[in-house]
């Protein structure tokens, strides 16, 4: 069954590490909000995908605008992955922000805001702490998400890839996959809001992920740590034994 009512829905799979491990399919799920999920899709989450946990990275105000549809057999948690105070009610929901007039000042503010978010998001983030805990628990699969499944969720996906021993470049490519999965819903949004073609291109950094942004996060890690091993240990207490267990569960 194809899930059609979630933006950017996919599983992380098929990547190979240098030591020969391959990420198994249908175990690590990521995407956007679940506010439009149908009963049939909710049941598919439980019966076929075996998802037991939903971890919502939105803050309280943002989640209240589009609450997740919750299945009684799935445990729901919401822990904001934003480590900076938003000056509006939308968090990182840039699609919603486009509904207002896009001035140069507003665009510059949004870009500086998102770049600042990427500089901070990877460090000692309680939402990502919880994600690693649930992944290691291994008593049911986890679906983690934000609004569009691209920024907060994208950083989480990157960190999972690194923890599993995948290359930095493969982790970046997994992050950039969101641009393929988001195209249809973003095109529909732009048509619905009657955003002209020129403005669509100007607003692309707000609707799609950018290599520049994930590299801002990578550079912020490199400034502080000599390696990803040191980063994972110091920021998430994720030592070699936990990484071995993570590989054992999610790789073959």
| pLDDT tens track for 147-195 | 999 999 999 999 999 999 999 999 999 999 999 999 998 888 888 777 7
User: Does pLDDT of 207 surpass 60?
Assistant: yes
Lowest-pLDDT range, 62-76, 99-113, 124-138?
99-113
Beta carbons within 8 Å of 236's beta carbon, 6+ residues apart: 124, 128, 129, 132
User: Does pLDDT of 91 surpass 70?
Assistant: no
> For position 75, what pLDDT does the model report?
98
How many Å apart are CA 104 and CA 42, to the nearest integer? 41
- Asked if residue 161 lies in contact with residue 171, where contact means CB atoms within 8 angstroms, the answer is yes
Query: What pTM was computed for the model?
Result: 0.93
pLDDT tens across 3-45, in order?
Answer: 999 999 999 999 999 899 999 999 999 999 999 999 999 999 9
- Asked if residue 81 lies in contact with residue 121, where contact means CB atoms within 8 angstroms, the answer is yes
Please compute the mean of the pLDDT values over residues 48-69 and round it to a whole number: 96
- Pairing of the two strands 51-56 and 28-31: unpaired
- 10-250 topology per CATH: 3.90.190
Strands laid side by side in the 28-31 sheet: 10-11, 28-31, 141-145, 51-56, 75-78
Please measure the distance between the N-terminal and C-terminal CA atoms of the chain and give it in whole angstroms: 25
How many Å apart are CA 135 and CA 160, to the nearest integer? 9
User: Does pLDDT of 86 surpass 60?
Assistant: no
Lowest-pLDDT range, 52-66, 94-108, 157-171?
94-108
> For position 63, what pLDDT does the model report?
95
């Amino acid at each position: 069954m194809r899930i059609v009512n979630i933006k950017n829905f996919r599983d992380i799979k098929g990547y190979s590490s240098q030591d020969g491990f391959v990420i198994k399919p249908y175990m690590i799920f990521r995407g956007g909000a679940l506010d439009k999920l149908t009963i049939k899709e909710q049941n598919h989450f439980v019966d076929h995908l075996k998802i037991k946990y939903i971890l919502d990275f939105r803050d309280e105000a943002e989640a209240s605008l589009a609450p997740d549809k919750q299945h009684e057999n799935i445990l729901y948690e919401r822990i904001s992955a934003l480590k900076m105070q938003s000056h509006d009610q939308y968090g990182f929901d840039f699609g919603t922000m486009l509904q207002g007039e896009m001035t140069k000042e507003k665009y510059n503010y949004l870009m500086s805001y998102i770049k600042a978010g990427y500089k901070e998001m990877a460090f000692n983030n309680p939402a990502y702490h919880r994600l690693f805990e649930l992944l290691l628990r291994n008593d049911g699969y986890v679906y983690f998400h934000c609004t569009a499944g691209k920024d907060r969720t994208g950083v989480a996906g990157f960190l999972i890839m690194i923890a599993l021993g995948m290359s930095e470049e493969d982790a970046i490519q997994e992050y950039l996959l969101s641009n393929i999965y988001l195209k249809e819903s973003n095109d529909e949004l732009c048509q619905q809001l009657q955003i002209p073609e020129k403005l669509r291109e100007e607003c692309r950094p707000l609707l799609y992920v950018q290599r520049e942004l994930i590299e801002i996060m990578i550079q912020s890690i490199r400034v502080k740590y000599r390696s990803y091993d040191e980063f994972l240990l110091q920021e998430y207490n994720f030592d070699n034994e936990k990484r071995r267990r993570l590989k054992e569960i999610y790789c073959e």
